[in-house]
Amino acid sequence: MGAPALLLARPDRLALSVFDADVTPPIGGPLFNGVPARSITDPLQARGFVLTGAGRPVVFCAIDWCEIRNESFEAWRRGLAAAAATSPERVMLSTVHQHDAPYTDRLANRLLIAHNAKGVFCDTAFEDACIQRVAEAIRQAMAAPVPVDSVGMGRGRVEGVASNRRFADASGRVQFSRTSATRNPAIRAMPEGLIDPWARTISFWSGNRPVAAVNCYATHPMSYYGQGDVTGDFPVIARRRRQQDDPAVHQIYLSGCSGDTMAGRYNDGAPENRQVLAGRLYDGLAAAWRDTRREPIRRVSYRVAKLRLQARRTPGFAIPEMQAALRDPALTFRAHTDAALGLAWRARLDRGHAIDVPCLDLGAARIVLLPAESFVQYQIWAQQVLPSSFVLASAFTESAPGYIPTAEAAREGYDDRYSWIAFPECEAAMRQALTRALTGQT
């Protein structure tokens, strides 16, 4: 589905309303993998803006949570759309994806409860309260819109943060086992592999006054995790430092298409590395801001491409197999969770569910969001679709598919269990949706 570009005969009618709201879970609340929160290292936020004056309002929101999936993703979009008096498909919703944070899927949660799972997966009452809190922040923000007339675009190189999961060992065998915290020095010493080394920033300006900045860098956002200490990890630390640089500029951060990129080459999991990585990312974000060039916003359009992915067909992913796993009391809570997530996704696929791939087209610049843990190559392909435009591509919208590899990765043996889609077939569907979203071409 697309929308024609709107020529702004009255640019003064284009306005931005920025908002933020606290979405920090309570002590004891479940985080990723059902780990209970034991402390709050950093408060978590939902940060975004509402763009008005170019058709129905567009809501853009990045949330400091791990993942929002299936029915939960729909609930968030409905709640935020209602607050802005727009439609759910005009809500661009993404998560930062750090792991010491909430992770939600309402249908999977119901399945786990029905089968007496050994842990607590998510807290839907808390999630509902967060949706209402963010919705109220949107309503309040829209009471004081700021006219915007130009868009800023800049990029800065980030050194010593991202590396790729993929590496070839001494025998030449390709592996995908480098993780966010890699303790094996031989694996850390492997080349970076395919990354996008650039942090990108798109900003909105009112005359000479910057109003908001959307920052993006493609890396998994974890230095260490899993003990229950709620945090935004190094990207949120870097974002907070950027916010302190100029409190009047509303800073938003996205984790890019980083399904296969992480800090493993530069991080062994030592706690002190969190601040080191935050400083390096901050330097890249600050460089992107210094690099900013501006152009008037003369037209705006918003497009949504429909993406249909096929269900995974390898052993263990058939519906009867996942149902059996969910019923098996001998399995771990993680195994039960994976089965419930797979069944929730299949239920939606079998009802014909398609994933929205939204694109906010500002003329000189475009923001496009892809689902789940899309590999970094999709981000690079997005930039190649329109080489003369400034394209900011990120992932972690509807996160139900899990990892979304490329066909090449599949041919090389990529086979992570945290993926519920058919690959290599996913690549063609992803690239077609990406092109439709960016260009409006069918």
Q: What per-residue confidence (pLDDT) applies to 441? A: 84
Q: What per-residue confidence (pLDDT) applies to 8? A: 54
- Residue 286 is assigned to a structural domain of this protein: yes
DSSP symbol at 36: B
Q: What per-residue confidence (pLDDT) applies to 10? A: 53
- Residue 228 is assigned to a structural domain of this protein: yes
- Residue 314 is assigned to a structural domain of this protein: no
Q: How many structural domains compose the chain?
A: 1
- Residue 1 is assigned to a structural domain of this protein: no
Whole-angstrom CA distances from 431 to 380, 382, 426, 427 are 11, 8, 9, 6
Q: What per-residue confidence (pLDDT) applies to 12? A: 59
- Residue 25 is assigned to a structural domain of this protein: yes
Burial 264-277 (b: 16+ CB within 10 A, else e): bbbbebeeebbebb
Q: How many helices (H) and strands (E) does the chain have?
A: 11, 25
- Residue 144 is assigned to a structural domain of this protein: yes
pLDDT along the chain (442 residues), means of 10: 52 88 98 97 97 96 98 98 98 98 97 95 98 98 98 98 95 94 95 98 98 98 97 98 97 98 98 98 98 96 97 97 97 96 96 96 97 98 96 98 98 95 97 97 76
Q: What per-residue confidence (pLDDT) applies to 5? A: 55
Q: What is the DSSP string of 88-156?
A: GGGEEEEE---SSS-EE-HHHHHHHHHTT-SS----HHHHHHHHHHHHHHHHHHTTS-EE--EEEEEEE
Q: What per-residue confidence (pLDDT) applies to 170? A: 86
pTM equals 0.96
DSSP symbol at 382: H
Q: What per-residue confidence (pLDDT) applies to 385? A: 96
- Domain residues for the domain of 109 are 6-304+358-413
- Residue 344 is assigned to a structural domain of this protein: no
- Residue 425 is assigned to a structural domain of this protein: no
